[in-house]
Structure formats: structure tokens, C-alpha cells
Amino acid sequence: MSVSRFQVAKVTGDNGSKDGEVSTEEIALNGYGETNGHGEDDDYNHENYENDENCDRATSSPVPFNHQSTMDYNNSHTVYDTKNLKSFRHYTREALPRVDHYRDINSVHGHMSRPTLDELHGCDMSSTFHDSQKRKDRKSLLSPDPGESAVKFGWVKGVLVRCLVNIWGVMLFLRLSWVVAQAGIGYAVLIVLFASLVTVITTLSMSAICTNGEVRGGGSYYMISRSLGPEFGGSIGVIFSIANAVAVAMYAIGFSETVSALLKENEITLFADEINNVRFIGCITVLLLLGIALIGTEWEAKTQIFLLFILLLAMANFVLGTFIPPNEQKKERGFNGYSLDQFVENFGPDFRGESFFSIFAIFFPAATGILAGANISGDLKDPQQAIPVGTMLGIVITSLSYMSFAILFGVTSEREVLSANGTLILFDGQKQGLHHNYNMMSLISLYAPLITAGTWAAALSSALASLISAPKVFQALCKDKLFPYIQYFGKGEGKNNEPRRGYILAFLIALAGCALGDLNVIAPIISNFFLAAYCLINFSCFHASFAKSLGFRPSFRYYNMYVSLIGAILCLVVMFIINWAASLITFIICFALYFIVLYRKPDVNWGSSTQAATYRSALQTAYKLNLVPDHIKTYRPQILVLTGNAFARPPLVDLSYQLAKNIGLMICGHVVQARLNQKARENITHQNNDWLIKRKVKSFYTLSDDQSFVSGAKSMIQCTGIGKLRPNILMLGYKSDWQDCNKQELLEYFAVIHEAFDKHMALCILRLKKGLDHSRYGRLSHGDDVDEKTPKQSKADKKAEAKDIEKGESLLAAYDSVTSQTISGDSSDDESPLATTVIYDDQKSEHKSALVSGKDEEKSIMPKNILSTINQFQRKQKKSTIDVWWLYDDGGLTMLVPYILSTRKQWSGCKLRIFALANKKDDLNQEQRNMAALLNKFRIEYSDVTVISDIVRPPTEENRQKFNEMISKWRTKDLDEEPVKMNDSGNDGSGDFDGLNVLISESEYLALKNKSYRHIRLRELLLQHSMDASLIVMTLPMPRKGTCSAALYMAWLETLTADMPPFLFVRGNQTSVLTFYS
């Protein structure tokens, strides 16, 4: 009987109720149902509760009481009715834990989304039906047809058999006897154990990786790429695929050489030249193997089992042969049978032109078949269980067999056959014994032709496994699109998704290898390719453990990160032992492929350990930085730029980035005066980050939605950053519409300036002659260098530009409607153009919009003059000057900012001109010398120093009159000050504007009259000295709280900057940022 976990209210018989009925009362649900909240045949669907406002409060009407459906809980006699309860999903919006909620969205098993937080919290229920329908459609599309289910293998046929036939290679039949002759029994066993140590450690690491979640097709490539990221995975995927493809030719040539020798013994001639025999037989062999592969993996698996059977017969044939007493002919050739004296004699080494490591280098390729099962991970029923069990058991069996056969060779055969006087005995003109006869296994066996068949089976099984492995790994690589122009080979066919195009490619590579006829040069490189894969598998396990990623939770527990690190080091050592030149070639190829992937920046996110390590490193570094005391010499500009949408003000972003690039922190701040739902926040954030990346601006982006600009800006100023990585400079754009905007906006802008100074932040304000706001076109700009000289336009060019403008305007009009929908949060997943056509470049091509376009289309849509303005700080500035008006000592930031700009390539042609004020006219020369000496102490290069002595001279009457006309509409009598204007939310915002006024009272005008005249006089000096400058940097006037109104302050700034070249106000926080001490 199925036990329900619903615990419901006690069934009682109230006064008037009959036996067998439940009184009308609420049913309290306190547990989980046996259907896990969905019902066995029901998909999770929001429609069931969509219109039920009180669905979290489950009620039930009276139902008949059924004794057969009752249970006894907690050994009590209380009876509960569960038969007539509805499914739990009818009572709540919540979804119970299900595996489909955690599947990848492209999983063939079907992904099912749980309710979003907005749906549960009540913020957004508009897309419920569409989401549920999409989930049903996705599941129906992705679920495989039962009639077309792929053939999957268990751990025996899929992994163990493949590992056995790959590790039991030609080395066992043709070279193991020679290894014993050179190294002796002791060292031969040690060589086998050393090779097994490397493969066992690699298998432990591989087992940890492949049990840390589902493993798909791609074998070693899949495991490395998902652990270390696409860069390492892509490089290993390519070289591992090539290595397997070339290995097909290597094994085929090994088979061809034995066949050619057999034909020669029987006096059968195909070609006069023996190498042509090898080439011809090799090509025919590869063609036959291709036919087996094209039939399907299932037939290939059956072929492998047949070849394994031949291998086992051949090995048994050899073991039985050791027990048969040798005849005289066999004794003359070196086989004496079991002998203790022979064992003692052959136990030690007898190196002849070789060493322990050279013998190890020759033997180790025999152990490189451990990935044969993992390479077809996509064809395994349960890769997580099959790969560790099958691979480890295969290593144990093959290692024991290699050691046993080495001992059998050493205990039964002589190294050399010598006469009584110590001379070598020749048989058929050939030297005999383990040192000279590679066919000792055939000599010892019961039936020699069976050993030949075993040799052929070993070569063919390895070749067939490599021919299957190479396309399988390459197919996974093609599907991930890490490299260009290879997607064609990723197409799968048939119910097993066979990479037949990949088979053809591997076949062609193998044919090219067979045409060489001699792969002695390539063979060491192939072994190094395999070892590189083993090295990275070990390093992947170590790195994932070292990074302490919470996502690395393998169910295989028998691993250790330091053992994996030792395994990686051992693989590197073995690579250089085998062939140091081949190792260098392997490293060069790996890193070349690594940098190709790194340069292409594929749009993949696999949660690799590299990402986890980046976070861990950043966290540790940020904490260490927090412990470092501040010093003037370590000052760095950390800029919070209030850009709004980052793409709306490209010049502001570009100039800020030039100040912070490679030396400081930059954060683009965006205050939205509207309530945003999470979907809209994510869309806007993604859009801005995407634009910053395309603009090649390394900046963070932060978004705040608040009822007013000033409160949002305050929260950013106070809360942005962490530890020492907090902004110390606030960068603003100049409010060019201050005379036309409402008083509330002006007061908010003015309040932000005061907030920066209240929080002891430096402040910069940038003004451009054509303005900063390019929100109509800025989102189309991805950054481009504009030629300094713009050619004159013909009439045809102007007409074409007009058409381009019209085209751009139509696109921008469509965008504006989309943006309004996004901010209001009205659009659903299915209906939001912002989510599919404007923001995301990684959507399918049919969904891309012209709004997300490359540089060529960008130029065609935007007029050249607008493009030039948007990118004016990205191009190289003409040879001119940066005029620095260092009026007041603010700690040196007014001087440091232009110095930083002068070090950038865009400003390399601009020299610094310094303008300063003199206290007294009589001390003009001394003031100039003092300023020059100070700059020299600061080690700041400059072209000229000018000291202004007549700053206190009254401005001209004309200029004074213009200033008074500008502020006339803002002036008021002392008793006529208007109250602060109410904002949209109905709050007066008085907490944000304490002591701040908009209008200019008569008393204020008179009190600050002289200061106003000084700014007018400064304007006259600017017109005299700096009209040809590429940039003007000036100390920002300080607005004293309670003394200066917003309108008067903005009038000062307007007076200084109107119709001037690019103008940057800078005001430090009165703390030194320059020092002349070492």
C-alpha cells in the first residue's frame, strides 16, 4: 500500500454528524504528497491556481468517510481521510522539489521551470500561462521518441571492454619480452607499476569529475572544458581528436607490417617495395574499419567483443605454452621452461644502449587507452557509474596481466642464447633470446598463428576504438562552437546521433597517415597528446577542489586534490621523459589553440573552476587590500559616473574610463525614477553591460530605482563598492537644461553635488559644447576611431546621409516604445522585444535586430557628425594643449587628472599648460617660479606656466549685463522664496534638500556679487587664453551650504563653460593626492 505523507486535520464526529462523515472544517496540510506536488501524469501548471487568491489556505467540503483509506499515525488511534484530497498543486502556488526544475534548459529530458519569485510574491502573474505552455511545448519537442531510442551501453560493454582492448595492444605481443630483456624482471614490473600509477591517479581524478553531475558526449574534452573552461577544453579537444585520428593510421600500419611480413614469408608479393605493401594494406584496413564505424556504434561494440575474445585466446595460448616442456628447437631459440636460476639471472637489468626512462618511454604508450570508454560518454547508460568502475577495473586487469607476462618471460626464457664458449648461437641466421627476438610469445605459445591473430586483434581493436573516439570528441567540440568553420562536422545522424561526417574526416586523416608509411616521428607526439589530456584531467580535479567551488560535489569520494596535482606533475614529467622535443611541440600547439579560444571569447558559461577561482582570488585580494593602510603614493582614482544608461552618454563614459583605465575603479551609476520589476532590471543591466563590453570599457554597472534622482544618487554614493574598492570621485555630466527644467530637477542636481562633498568625495563635472546626452544614438555606438579629418560631403553624400538618418530614426522610434515597456515591466517573456531583439546579441540570427549592429552598419545609420561627437574622446586628439586652471589647492586632484589624461594615447599630442592665480601683482615672477618648482617636484611635465595677476579686475559692463540677464528669472525678494516643489510621489523631499534653495534672493546676490564678478572675469581670461585648447580642466567652484543657491551656482558654471571647448571641472576633497616624497 502506498503511504501518503499528507497529514491532515483530525476526522471528528461533531454533535450532529453521522458516523462515517467528516464535519465541515478546514484541512491543514503539513507535509508532502506522494506525487511530489505535481501528480505523476501532470505537468506543473500555474493555471490551476491562477485565479485563486486564497489558494494557500486549503479548504474542503464534507466528504464520505472511508475506513479502507485510513491510517494510523504515531501509534495513535486517530483516523485520517486522504482518499478524496485533491493533488497538492491545487492548494498552493509553490512547487515541490523535482529533478526537472534543475535540468539544463536544453536537456533532452525536458526542463521545467519552477514559479518565479515575482509570481509567488505577486509582482508579475501576466506570463504564467505562456510560461507553462512553453514548458509543455519544450518538453514535447525535446523528449525522444520511444521508437527511436538510442542504443546505450553499460559499464562492461561500453567501458571495460574498450579499455581492455586498447591497453592490451601490440606492446604486449611484440615488445614486452624486449622490455624484460633490457630492464629485468624487477624493473619491468616497476615500469608497469609506474605507468599504472599515472593512469590510476588520472582515473581517480576522472571519476571525481564525471560523478560531479551528468556527463554528456565528448569524453575527456567534455570533462576538461566543463571543469577548466572552454580555453583548455577547446585546445585539448582538438589535439585529442587529431591524436586519435592519427593513431588509427599508426595502429593500421602496425597491423600492416605484420601482414606484410607474413606475406613475405609465404613469398606473396603485392608491390616490389615493401613500404608500398604497408601503405596499401593500411589504407584497405582503415577503409574496412570506416565501414564498421558507419554501420553504427552497436556493431562496433560487437566487433570489439569479438576482438577481445581473440585477444583472450591468444593470451591463454601463451600462458598454457609456458607449462609445456620445450623441445630442442625452442631451447636453441631461448625458451627453457620454468627455472629458478633463470628467474634470478633475469631479475636484474641488462641495459644495452637504453636506460630505465628510455624503456619506460617505449612502454608507456601501451597504458594510454584508459580514456577509450570515457570518449563515448554520450553512448553510455550511466556515465557516472560506468566510467569509474569500468576504467579502474580495466587498469587493474591489464596491469596484473602485464606484470604476470613480464614475470613469465623472465622465468622461462634467456636474454641471449650462447654456446659453451660464450659465442652467440644463430638460428636461421638470426640472433636468438629476449634481446633479439621480438616474437618470443609466438615461440613459447601452444599455437603460434593464434599469437599472430592476437597481434592483429590488438592492432585492429585499438585502431577501431580510436576511429570511434576521434569523431565523438570532435562532434562535442563542434557543437560548442569554440572554433570557426567546424560546425559542419558536428551534425549527428541516426538514432545514436552518429557523427558520420566526423568519421569521414578521421578516415581522411588516417589515410594521410597511412600514406606516410612510417609514423616513428609522429608516434611520440601522439603519446604526448594523450598525456597532455591526462595532465589536464588531473589538474581539473585539483583546481576544482582548490577553488572550493560549492558546485564541485562528486559522489566519488576516493580522490584527493593533492594526489591529483601529483598526477598532473607526473604526466608532465613523463611527457618530457618520452620525448622532450615532442613535449615542446605539444605545448606550443596547446597554447596556440588556447589563445585562439581566448581571443574569440565564445559565448559559453559552464560554471568552470576557473570562474570559481577568479571569485576566490578576487575575494581574498579585496580582503587583503582592505588591510592595507592608505598612502598618498598609492592613491588611485575610483570613479562613480552617474551616466544614466551608459550608452546614453558615451563621451562621459570614455573620458572617465581614460582616467581609470588600468589604474583605478570605474562604476557607471544609473538612477531610474520608476519602480522596476526584476525582469526589467535584468534587461537594463544586461543591455548596459553588453554595451560597455562592446565599447571595450572595463567598468561595472549599478542600477538603482528610487522615487527621486537625489535619493537614488545618495544610496549609490553611500553604498556602492566594498572595502577599499569604493568610489572616491563622483563624475557628473553638466546639466545643460538647467534654465528650462523644473525647479525640482535643478534642486536634485544641486543636492547631489552637496551630497558628494558631504561624503568627502571628489567631484568632476564635464561639459561639451554639443552636449552629453546621445541616448537617441549612443546605444548604436560600439566604439570606433573617427578620422581626424572629415572630408567635405557632396550633395549625393548628404542625400544618402539623410536616408541613413531617417532609417536610424525609425529604428530608434521602435526602440523607444520597447524601452518604455521594459521600464514599466508590462512585457512578458514572449512579448518583450527588448529581451529578444535589442539587448541580446547571443540570440538566434533570425531574432537579431538592426539595433544591435556592427560598426559598418553603425556608421551607415548615424550621421558622421553625430558619430564624431559620440566618439570624440576615443579618437586621437589633434596636437594642442590641455589647459589646467589650478585656481585653488584642492589636494592636487585638479593637477593629477590632466596628468593622467596626458599619459593616454588619445592625448599624447597634447601638452599641459598651467594657469594659476597670484596673490599680489608685485610677486608675479616669484609666484610663477614657485608654481614651476612645485610641478617639478611633483615630476609633472608641462609646456608653460602662466600666473594670472588681475583676477580681481572688474569684468566688462557687457559681460556683467549678460550675467544679470541670465539670472534675472531666478532672482526674488528675500520674502518671496518659493517652497520646495512637490515631487511625483507627493513627498516634499525636504530631507534631501536641507538648507538648499533654488531661487536667488536679493541678499544672496549682494553677498556673492564679488564672487560672481570673479567668475565673469575668469570667463574673459578663458576666452583670451584657452579657446584653442583640446580640453580645459579647472578647479570647481565650491558651493557653500546655506549661502549659495542652486540657480546662482549653475549660473557661475554656465558663465565659465558656455561655448567653450570640452570643459572638465575638478574639485578634490582637500586631501593630498600628490606628493614629492619618495
Question: Cell 606484470 sits at which residue?
Answer: 403
pLDDT score, position 371: 83
Local confidence band at 52 (pLDDT 50, 70, 90 cut-offs): very low
CATH number listed for the domain at residues 880-1067: 3.40.50
pLDDT score, position 1068: 93
Count CA atoms within 13 Å of residue 1012 on its CB side: 23
Taking alpha carbons only, the member of 1039, 1037, 1068, 663 closest to residue 892 is: 1068
End-to-end CA distance of the chain, in Å? 84
Taking alpha carbons only, the member of 601, 572, 599, 577 closest to residue 587 is: 572
pLDDT score, position 756: 94
Q: Which of 114-123, 240-249, 412-421, 721-730 shows the lowest per-residue confidence on average (mean pLDDT)? A: 114-123
Q: Which three cell numbers stand for residue 339?
A: 627455472
Residue 548: left (phi > 0), alpha (psi -120 to 50), or beta?
Answer: left
Kind of pairing, strands 638-642 and 729-733? parallel
Q: Which three cell numbers stand for residue 972?
A: 526674488
pLDDT score, position 105: 61
pLDDT greater than 70 at residue 104? no
Q: Which of 412-421, 748-757, 962-971 shows the lowest per-residue confidence on average (mean pLDDT)? A: 412-421
Taking alpha carbons only, the member of 568, 573, 575, 571 closest to residue 545 is: 568
According to DSSP, the residues that pair with 913 across neighbouring strands are: 883, 944
Q: Which residue has the higher pLDDT, 624 or 110?
A: 624
Measured CA to CA, the distance from residue 754 to residue 1046 in angstroms comes to 10
Tell me what the mean pLDDT of segment 557-561 comes to. Answer: 88
Local confidence band at 1044 (pLDDT 50, 70, 90 cut-offs): very high
Q: Which of 22-31, 556-565, 777-786 shows the lowest per-residue confidence on average (mean pLDDT)? A: 22-31
pLDDT score, position 531: 87
CB atoms within 10 A of CB 1041: 12
Measured CA to CA, the distance from residue 777 to residue 573 in angstroms comes to 57
Burial environment of residue 109 by CB neighbours within 10 A (0 to 12, 13 to 18, 19 or more): middle
Domain ranges of the chain: 1-143, 155-600, 796-861, 880-1067
Question: How is domain 155-600 classified at the architecture level of CATH?
Answer: Up-down Bundle (1.20)
Tell me: the pLDDT tens digits for 858-916? Answer: 444 567 778 888 889 988 998 999 999 999 999 999 999 999 999 999 999 999 999 99
Angle among Cα 376, 380, 386 to the nearest 5 degrees reads 100
pLDDT greater than 70 at residue 135? no
Tell me: the pLDDT tens digits for 190-219? Answer: 999 999 999 999 999 988 888 887 777 777
- The amino acid present at 381, given as its one-letter code, is K
Measured CA to CA, the distance from residue 1033 to residue 890 in angstroms comes to 13
pLDDT score, position 662: 92
Q: Which of 54-58, 427-431, 711-715, 1073-1077 shows the lowest per-residue confidence on average (mean pLDDT)? A: 54-58
Q: Which of 127-136, 372-381, 397-406, 514-523 shows the lowest per-residue confidence on average (mean pLDDT)? A: 127-136
pLDDT score, position 123: 62
Angle among Cα 96, 101, 104 to the nearest 5 degrees reads 170
pLDDT score, position 788: 38
Q: For the chain, what is the largest distance between any 2 Cα atoms, rounded to a whole number of angstroms?
A: 133
pLDDT score, position 606: 84
pLDDT greater than 60 at residue 1020? yes
- Evaluate whether 155-600 and 880-1067 have a shared fold: no
Check residue 823 and report its DSSP letter. H
Mean pLDDT of the chain: 78
pLDDT score, position 43: 41
pTM of the prediction? Answer: 0.71
pLDDT greater than 90 at residue 731? yes
Tell me: the pLDDT tens digits for 814-866? Answer: 444 444 444 444 433 333 322 222 332 333 333 333 333 344 444 445 677 78
Tell me: the pLDDT tens digits for 619-677? Answer: 999 999 999 998 988 899 999 999 999 999 999 999 999 999 999 999 999 999 988 88
CB atoms within 10 A of CB 102: 11
pLDDT greater than 70 at residue 96? yes
pLDDT score, position 384: 82
Rg of the chain over all Cα atoms, to the nearest angstrom: 40
pLDDT score, position 772: 87
Measured CA to CA, the distance from residue 708 to residue 293 in angstroms comes to 68
pLDDT greater than 80 at residue 686? yes
Tell me: the pLDDT tens digits for 582-608? Answer: 889 888 988 999 899 988 888 888 888
Tell me: the pLDDT tens digits for 488-502? Answer: 888 888 777 888 899
- Contact between residue 449 and residue 457 where contact means Cβ atoms under 8 Å apart: no
- Contact between residue 496 and residue 301 where contact means Cβ atoms under 8 Å apart: no
Residue 554: left (phi > 0), alpha (psi -120 to 50), or beta?
Answer: beta
Taking alpha carbons only, the member of 862, 871, 751 closest to residue 811 is: 862
Tell me: the pLDDT tens digits for 324-380? Answer: 988 888 888 888 889 898 899 999 998 888 888 888 888 888 888 888 888 777 778
Measured CA to CA, the distance from residue 461 to residue 308 in angstroms comes to 8
Measured CA to CA, the distance from residue 752 to residue 1036 in angstroms comes to 15
